[in-house]
């Protein structure tokens, strides 16, 4: 915890004939972060896929195509199936299932296409129907040119020798061929827009009736085919999901030679793995004739974060910001402590906290097969529990209502978001939290500088800002406002506080200028603004309470009797949903922002490479019974 796991670099040498078995074991163990061969060693080149790779990749493409056609969504994992059984079923079922699905899908697509074409023809027939001419009247003539389309209704048209039929803006003009060019010019001058007439015989009305019947048949056929495809998806979908997972795992195993160096008979593989797992890998490979050595190197290893189970979900937020350098402190623990604290304090409502807790629980139970949603659900669940805690023990409120009975039960005075003195305390308390977090960020930055550089850099680039921050807070408030923020709480006399504060501020500023240059002067105000930024914790909490209180007040002012009760309930329900949504988004983003923007830059640089071990994480299948 706080530091990534130490890594070791290994070099693995063996015979090409053993590559399939090596690939299988490495995939099962999921320990080695592969280093791609750079092509510089004489006599070695990047290898090609294992012999089963082409077949597996082809089947994988086919299965993924079927999943897309059937619109299958993976269900939460249940009991995993043996991989060798799935592989046998792929050989037995895939061809026939693919043939059935593709045939149905082709019929379904044809029906949809025919519907689109029919709708287009129907629209065209309806445009020409008012003219009252049979469809064959628009066929080409030896002596006549036919113009069909739309013409503005107010346009007066006179073409010598032409027969013109008009209905609204629709027009059909039959013109002698020797006058066709003049007629075309005359039509263009009046805003004529040509439309191709529909093909066929008989009156458009009869064609419309027949086409509408045909479209109804096509719609019925398309719906029936869609239901058949849906039924196939329900019947075979989860098997296809398991097959896709197995084939994806096999495809990854077959591509191992692409990452390593191969000669005619041997291979050399390089990679990283956690130091503590080296013996486990040796034991797994002990039955194969291999040379496995640990290489001493200054190369930068990948980063595997090392956190206990409660902290692990917050690695999601850490990686959204950046992957830590392998020598840096891991900020996931800080997120675990700070994010639920800020979120809970911002909302501080028992009712809303229960909603968020249940939302997180739903994400964990229903969408546990998605790693990101699983982690997000755990985070929201913890944040909801924190919100319930503050809503119960700090504010005694639920859904914007003050719980007076609970306030009387607690052995202390709870905070009221509607009382000025309590609001002032909340603003001051959150400002103190800001001071703690900004200082903590600088302390962690000091430690990182010691590790990455030396004491001189740590003092000039980090400790200097601690002196600026605390020194400034000791002398600026008494100097400008005549109020002590820190000294009075530490028992320092006013002149001593101001003197110590000014000396610390100036000394810190001098060190910062020495380390960062004159630009440090410009950055001085930002360090105090970042502390004040934490006051948004109280401000957002008060704003959410005010919004909920306003909706509740509107509903109760209307009353819950008679017809007005409908509007009152509607306002109450919609209002609560608005507050819940805005609270989740606003408090969620700002609780993260206070970490990302105000604290992390003080110590966290990032730039590491995420540890991604070779191997496929299976959820629907297992390889316990296969030796492929």
**Where does the pLDDT of residue 519 fall: very low under 50, low under 70, confident under 90, or very high at 90 and above?**
confident
pLDDT mean over 76-90: 89
Strand partners, 169: none
Residue showing tokens 């509740």: 552
Predicted local distance difference test score (pLDDT) of residue 491: 62
For 309-333, the pLDDT digits (tens) are 999 999 999 999 999 998 889 999 9
pLDDT higher than threshold 50 for residue 626: no
**Where does the pLDDT of residue 452 fall: very low under 50, low under 70, confident under 90, or very high at 90 and above?**
confident
pLDDT higher than threshold 90 for residue 65: yes
pLDDT higher than threshold 50 for residue 294: yes
**pTM given for the model:** 0.80
Q: Given CA atoms 508, 512, 518, 521 in this order, what sign does their dihedral have?
A: negative
For 333-370, the pLDDT digits (tens) are 999 999 999 999 999 999 999 999 999 999 998 887 78
**Where does the pLDDT of residue 605 fall: very low under 50, low under 70, confident under 90, or very high at 90 and above?**
confident
pLDDT higher than threshold 60 for residue 628: no
Q: Enumerate domains of the chain plus CATH numbers.
A: 133-202 (3.30.70), 312-460+532-602 (no CATH)
**Where does the pLDDT of residue 625 fall: very low under 50, low under 70, confident under 90, or very high at 90 and above?**
very low
Predicted local distance difference test score (pLDDT) of residue 481: 66
pLDDT mean over 110-124: 95
Q: Which of 46-50, 345-349, 497-501, 595-599 has the lowest mean pLDDT?
A: 497-501
Predicted local distance difference test score (pLDDT) of residue 135: 92
pLDDT higher than threshold 70 for residue 398: yes
Report the interhelical angle of 350-366 vs 371-393 (nearest 10°).
160
Mean pLDDT across the chain = 91
162 vs 210: which has the higher pLDDT: 210
Count of C-beta atoms within a 10 Å radius of residue 277: 19
The DSSP call for residue 534 is T
For 385-396, the pLDDT digits (tens) are 999 999 999 999
pLDDT mean over 84-107: 95
pLDDT higher than threshold 80 for residue 627: no
For 21-62, the pLDDT digits (tens) are 999 999 999 999 999 998 878 888 988 899 999 999 999 999
HSE-up (13 A, CA, CB side) for residue 232: 25
Three-class HEC string of 386-404: HHHHHHHHCCCEECCEECH
Answer for the pair 371, 346: CB distance below 8 angstroms, yes or no: no
Of 269, 288, 555, the closest CA to residue 400 belongs to 555
Sorted by sequence, the CB contacts under 8 Å of residue 181 that are 6+ apart come out as: none
DSSP letters, 32-74, are: -EEE---S-STT-EE----TTHHHHHHHHHHHHHHHHHHT--P
Three-class HEC string of 179-196: HHHHHHHHHHHCCCEECC
pLDDT higher than threshold 60 for residue 93: yes
């Amino acid at each position: 915890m706080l530091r990534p796991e130490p890594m070791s670099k290994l070099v693995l040498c063996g015979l090409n004939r053993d590559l399939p078995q090596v690939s299988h074991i490495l995939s099962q163990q999921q320990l080695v972060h592969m280093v791609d061969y750079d092509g510089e060693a004489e006599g070695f080149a990047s290898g090609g896929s294992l012999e089963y790779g082409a077949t597996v990749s082809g089947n994988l493409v086919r299965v993924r195509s079927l999943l897309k056609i059937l619109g299958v969504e993976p269900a939460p994992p249940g009991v995993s199936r043996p991989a060798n059984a799935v592989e046998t079923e792929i050989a037995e079922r895939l061809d026939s299932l693919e043939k059935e699905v593709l045939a149905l899908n082709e019929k379904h697509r044809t029906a949809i296409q025919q519907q689109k074409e029919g709708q287009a023809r129907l629209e065209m027939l309806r445009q020409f129907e008012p003219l009252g001419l049979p469809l064959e009247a628009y066929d080409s003539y030896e002596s006549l040119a036919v113009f069909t389309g739309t013409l503005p209704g107010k346009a007066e048209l006179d073409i010598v020798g032409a027969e013109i039929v008009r209905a609204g803006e629709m027009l059909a003009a039959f013109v002698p061929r020797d006058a066709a060019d003049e007629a075309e010019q005359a039509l263009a001058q009046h805003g004529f827009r040509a439309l191709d007439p529909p093909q066929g015989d008989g009156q458009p009305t009869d064609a419309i009736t027949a086409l509408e019947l045909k479209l109804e048949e096509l719609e019925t056929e398309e719906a029936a085919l869609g239901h058949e495809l849906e039924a196939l998806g329900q019947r075979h979908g989860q098997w296809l999901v398991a097959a896709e997972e197995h084939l994806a795992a096999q495809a990854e195993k077959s591509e191992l030679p692409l990452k390593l160096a191969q000669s005619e008979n041997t291979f050399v593989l390089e990679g990283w793995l956690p130091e503590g797992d080296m013996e486990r890998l040796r034991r797994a490979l002990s039955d194969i004739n291999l040379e496995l050595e640990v290489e001493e190197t200054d190369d930068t290893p990948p980063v595997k974060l090392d956190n206990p189970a409660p902290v692990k979900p917050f690695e999601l937020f850490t990686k959204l910001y950046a992957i830590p350098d392998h020598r840096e402190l891991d900020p996931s623990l800080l997120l675990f402590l700070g994010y639920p604290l800020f979120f809970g304090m911002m909302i501080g409502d028992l009712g809303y906290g229960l909603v968020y807790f249940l939302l997180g629980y739903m994400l964990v139970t229903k969408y546990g097969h998605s790693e990101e949603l699983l982690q997000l659900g755990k985070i929201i669940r913890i944040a909801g529990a924190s919100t319930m805690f503050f809503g119960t023990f700090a504010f005694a409120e639920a859904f914007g209502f003050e719980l007076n009975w609970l306030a009387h039960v607690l052995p202390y005075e709870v905070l009221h978001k509607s009382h000025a003195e309590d609001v002032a305390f909340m603003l001051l308390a959150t400002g103190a939290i800001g001071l703690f977090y900004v200082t903590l960020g600088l302390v962690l930055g000091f430690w990182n500088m010691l590790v990455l550089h030396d004491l001189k850099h740590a003092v000039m680039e980090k400790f200097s800002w601690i002196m600026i921050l605390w020194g400034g807070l000791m002398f600026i408030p008494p100097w400008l406002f005549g109020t002590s923020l820190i000294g009075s709480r530490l028992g320092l006399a006013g002149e001593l506080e101001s003197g110590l504060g000014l000396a610390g501020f100036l000394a810190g500023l001098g060190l910062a200028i020495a380390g960062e240059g004159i630009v440090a002067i410009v950055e001085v105000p930002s360090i105090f603004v970042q502390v004040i930024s934490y006051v948004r914790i109280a401000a957002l909490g008060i704003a959410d309470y005010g919004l909920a209180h306003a909706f509740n007040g509107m509903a109760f002012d209307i009353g819950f009797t008679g017809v007005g009760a409908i509007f009152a309930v509607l306002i109450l329900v919609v209002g609560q949903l608005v507050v819940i949504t805005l609270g989740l988004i606003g408090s969620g983003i700002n609780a993260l922002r206070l970490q990302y923007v105000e604290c992390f830059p003080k110590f966290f640089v990032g730039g590491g490479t995420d540890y991604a071990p070779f191997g496929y994480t299976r959820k629907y299948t297992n390889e316990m019974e296969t030796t492929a």
